[in-house]
């Protein structure tokens, strides 16, 4: 499982011109699910992301977590994070989980974020053509991959 995390002042997602989810200060999480991912990957990723200290304290140091700042998250499913661009000009997405596996894991990850103490968890619409808007704060952008996390 892979997440691109952006610290945001605000973020929102629309489908067919209708806002489906929005947050103020917090994180926009683009979530990619690999074909081999399990609920354990979602648990590890949610625990890591929810506790990242990427918000600034009174000394302008990145020392505060989502809980510390009362921030929310907007989680957007994004199978293209597992796009392989190593051959040709058209990315291959064979490593991305099929929708019937990915959607339950996406939903489980969102529930795990709540379990980890994130009060406001908003979502896009799985599989929809979404328009995502955000104001990146910093900018601060991180990539967290469960393959790289210690057990």
**pLDDT (tens digit, 9 = 90+) per residue, 23-82?**
999 999 999 999 999 999 999 999 999 999 999 999 999 999 999 999 999 999 999 999
Angle, to 10 degrees, between the axis of helix 39-51 and the axis of helix 99-115? Answer: 40
Residue with tokens 């051959």: 87
Distance CA 145, CA 104 (A): 19
Please name which of 90, 126, 92, 91 lies closest in space to residue 106, comparing C-alpha atoms. Answer: 126
Please name which of 33, 133, 129 lies closest in space to residue 79, comparing C-alpha atoms. Answer: 33
Note the pLDDT tens digit of each residue in 65-103. 999 999 999 999 999 999 999 999 999 999 999 999 999
Q: Over 48-99, what HEC string results? A: HHHHCCCEECCCCCEEECHHHHCCEEEEEECHHHHCECCCCCCCECCCECCH
Please count the residues of the chain: 151
- pTM of structure: 0.95
Distance CA 95, CA 111 (A): 24
CATH class given for the domain over 2-148: alpha beta
**Residue 151: which pLDDT band, with cuts at 50, 70 and 90?**
low
Per-residue burial over 126-138, b if 16 or more Cβ lie within 10 Å, else e, is: eeeebebebeebe
Q: Residue ranges of the domains in the chain?
A: 2-148
Q: Does residue 38 have a cis bond before it (omega within 30 degrees)?
A: no
């Amino acid at each position: 499982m892979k997440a691109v995390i952006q610290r945001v002042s605000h973020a929102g997602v629309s489908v067919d011109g209708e806002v489906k989810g929005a947050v103020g200060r917090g994180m926009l999480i683009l979530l990619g699910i690999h074909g081999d991912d399990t609920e354990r990957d979602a648990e590890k990723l949610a625990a890591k992301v929810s506790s990242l200290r990427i918000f600034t304290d009174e000394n302008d140091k990145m020392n505060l977590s989502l809980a510390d700042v009362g921030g929310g998250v907007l989680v957007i499913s994004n199978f293209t994070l597992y796009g392989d661009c190593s051959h040709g000009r058209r990315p291959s997405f064979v490593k991305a989980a099929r929708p019937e596996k990915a959607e339950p894991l996406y939903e489980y990850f969102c529930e795990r974020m709540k379990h980890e103490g994130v009060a406001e968890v908003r979502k896009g619409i799985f599989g929809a053509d979404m328009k995502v808007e955000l104001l990146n704060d910093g900018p601060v952008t991180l990539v967290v991959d469960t393959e790289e996390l210690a057990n």
